[in-house]
Structures are given as structure tokens and as C-alpha cells.
């Protein structure tokens, strides 16, 4: 390859990466458009009573009460939350609630990542610890959050250490971390065990210790497994935060708005869908934010492993 060709390689790579990002945005917008078109097609052509299989309704009714038009929901976002004078627009109310939930979910995500990586390191270091802990880690995810969240709030309210007082949002963050730590622990463990045996045996031949092996071989090898796990953990943290807000009664978050506006759906059906759309956007933002880590560790990503 000539010097001129070598000089042109980085700009070409940047242009290729920029084109790939634009395609991803295009696919995302196309997906939203197809979702809106599918919504309207089902509303126009679907049965009035919905699709019922046995005694279960698997698809909703197509009435304006159950399925408002897409443009009605979009227009409702620009209107005030209530008819009271000085009421904020609905979109701003959704943004503020989503910001609160996102902050709590971020705190839970950080705790979940720290706990998950710590557990993965312990299980990788001692095989006995893996055999003893991994089944319980998997079993922990079978506990229903709707029953577990009130217990966490009850236990947390009894914690008093000096001037420290447990806050309700901390219970929600604990629930978020409870869902976030699992994919991180499993993904990190799989990544730490990913290096080829020949590389580990070479380091062992040179009497390289566990810590140096971890830093130079195991952690770089774990990056392709850890990045997808971190994105999944971010989405799980948002789900955990929303469910915990509903279960614990925390005010101000997107979870409480879903319940509150659902009770007003009979008189304002378009309003009830606004916090649901906000929750979906919140999950996408949380997972997309973790993609920044992929830029930091791009030299180690190569092909990301699937969980």
C-alpha cells in the first residue's frame, strides 16, 4: 500500500463509521414509521372487539377509547396536562417524570454493575464460588418484583445510621440494581473465561500472577461480552425503576404517571398513552447511553458476543 493510500485510510474509516451511524438512525426512524402505520392499519381494519382467543383478548379493541389515532396522541403531547390555569404541557410533564426515573435507574445501574463485576471476579477466581453462587444468581431473577419491592421499602425505612435517613427513591434504586446486576455478572463471567487456553498457559509458564493475567488478558477479552450485558442491564434498570415506582408508591416518576393517567383514560384516552411512550423512550435512551462505552473501548470490541 502506498503512503498516499495509507494517509487516506483514517478519513475513509471515519466516513464509513459515519455512514453506518446514519444508517442506524435511518433504520430507527423507519421502525417508528412502520409502527405508526401498523397501528393505524390495525385500527382501520381490525375487529371492533379486538382479537380474542378463548377467554383472553390478545389484541385490543379498535375504538377511539382503546386506540386513539397516532396524530391525536402527538397533538395531546402539546396540550396542557389539565385545564387548570398555568398547567404545564403534557410533554414537559413526561420529560420531568422520565428524568427523575432515569436518574434513579442510573444509580441502580451503577450499583448493579459494581456488584455484577465483583461477583464475576469472585466466580472466575474460585471455581467453587462459581458452583455455589451461579445457581442462586440465576434463581434470584425468578422473584416477582411486584411482591419484592414493598419489602425493600419496608426494610429500608428502618435503616437509620446517625444523620443518614433512608429515602424512598433509594428503595427504587435497589430494585433497579437487582435487575441490572444479573446480565452483568453472567456476561462478565463468560468474558473473563473467554481467553484461549494457550494464552493463559503461556502466562502461567512465565509465572505471571492472577492480577496481571486479569489486567492484560482476561479483562480485554471480556469487553465484547460485557458491552451487550451493560446495555441489557441499563434497560433492566429502567424496567425495575418503573415497576418499583408503581409498587412502592414513589411520586414524580414515569411509573406513577402510567398508573395515574390510566385512571383518566376513559375521559382522555390519548393522555394515557403519553407516559407509556415516555417509558419506551426512556429505555432506549438508557441503552443508547451505554453505547458511549463502546467508543471508549472500541479497540477491544471487535465482534461483540451475544448473550
Q: What DSSP assignment string belongs to 237-274?
A: HHHHHHHHHHHHT-SSSHHHHHHHHHTTTTT-HHHHTH
Q: Where are the domains of the chain?
A: 1-67, 86-306
Give tens-digit pLDDT for 254-283.
988 888 888 887 888 888 888 988 888 888
Task: Answer left, alpha or beta for residue 161, where phi above 0 means left and psi between -120 and 50 means alpha.
Answer: beta
Give the mean model confidence (pLDDT) for residues 88-102.
90
What is the pLDDT confidence band of residue 4, given thresholds at 50, 70 and 90?
very low
Give the long-range contacts of residues 38-46, CB within 8 A, separation 24 or more. 39/67, 39/70, 40/69, 40/70, 42/67, 43/67, 43/69
Give tens-digit pLDDT for 179-213.
999 999 999 999 888 887 887 777 788 777 888 88
Residue the block writes with cell 419484592: 148
User: Hey, which CATH number is domain 86-306, 3.40.50.720, 1.10.3720.10, 1.10.1660.10, 3.40.50.300?
Assistant: 1.10.3720.10
> Is the C-alpha dihedral spanning 43, 48, 54, 55 positive or negative?
positive
Cell matching residue 219:
479483562
Backbone angles phi, psi at 165, to 5 degrees: -130, 130
Strand partners, 165: 160
Give tens-digit pLDDT for 145-173.
777 777 887 777 777 777 777 788 888 89
Helices (H) and strands (E) in the chain, counts: 13, 4
Give the mean model confidence (pLDDT) for residues 64-82.
85
Please, are residues 260 and 268 in contact by the beta-carbon 8 Å criterion?
A: no
Higher pLDDT, 97 or 54: 97
Give the mean model confidence (pLDDT) for residues 222-228.
87
- Residues ≥6 apart with Cβ < 8 Å to 59: 42, 46, 50, 51
Amino acid at each position: 500500500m502506498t503512503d498516499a493510500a495509507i494517509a487516506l485510510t483514517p478519513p475513509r474509516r471515519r466516513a464509513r463509521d459515519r455512514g453506518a451511524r446514519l444508517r442506524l438512525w435511518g433504520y430507527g426512524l423507519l421502525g417508528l414509521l412502520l409502527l405508526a402505520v401498523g397501528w393505524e392499519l390495525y385500527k382501520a381494519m381490525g375487529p371492533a372487539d379486538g382479537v380474542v382467543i378463548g377467554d383472553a383478548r390478545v389484541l385490543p379493541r379498535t375504538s377511539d377509547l382503546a386506540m386513539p389515532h397516532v396524530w391525536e396522541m402527538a397533538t395531546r403531547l402539546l396540550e396542557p396536562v389539565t385545564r387548570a390555569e398555568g398547567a404545564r404541557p403534557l410533554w414537559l410533564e413526561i420529560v420531568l417524570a422520565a428524568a427523575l426515573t432515569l436518574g434513579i435507574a442510573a444509580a441502580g445501574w451503577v450499583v448493579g454493575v459494581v456488584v455484577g463485576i465483583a461477583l464475576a471476579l469472585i466466580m472466575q477466581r474460585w471455581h467453587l464460588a462459581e458452583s455455589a453462587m451461579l445457581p442462586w444468581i440465576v434463581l434470584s431473577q425468578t422473584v416477582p418484583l411486584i411482591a419484592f419491592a414493598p419489602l425493600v421499602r419496608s426494610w429500608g425505612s428502618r435503616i437509620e445510621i446517625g444523620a443518614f435517613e433512608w429515602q424512598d427513591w433509594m428503595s427504587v434504586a435497589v430494585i433497579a440494581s437487582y435487575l441490572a446486576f444479573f446480565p452483568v455478572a453472567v456476561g462478565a463471567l463468560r468474558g473473563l473465561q473467554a481467553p484461549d487456553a494457550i494464552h493463559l498457559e503461556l502466562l502461567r509458564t512465565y509465572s505471571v500472577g492472577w492480577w496481571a493475567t486479569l489486567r492484560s488478558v482476561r479483562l480485554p477479552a471480556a469487553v465484547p461480552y460485557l458491552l451487550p450485558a451493560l446495555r441489557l442491564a441499563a434497560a433492566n434498570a429502567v424496567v425495575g425503576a418503573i415497576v418499583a415506582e408503581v409498587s412502592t408508591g414513589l411520586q414524580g416518576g414515569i411509573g406513577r404517571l402510567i398508573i395515574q393517567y390510566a385512571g383518566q383514560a376513559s375521559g382522555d384516552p390519548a393522555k394515557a398513552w403519553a407516559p407509556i411512550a415516555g417509558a419506551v423512550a426512556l429505555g432506549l435512551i438508557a441503552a443508547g447511553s451505554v453505547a458511549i462505552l463502546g467508543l471508549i473501548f472500541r479497540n477491544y470490541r471487535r465482534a461483540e458476543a451475544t448473550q
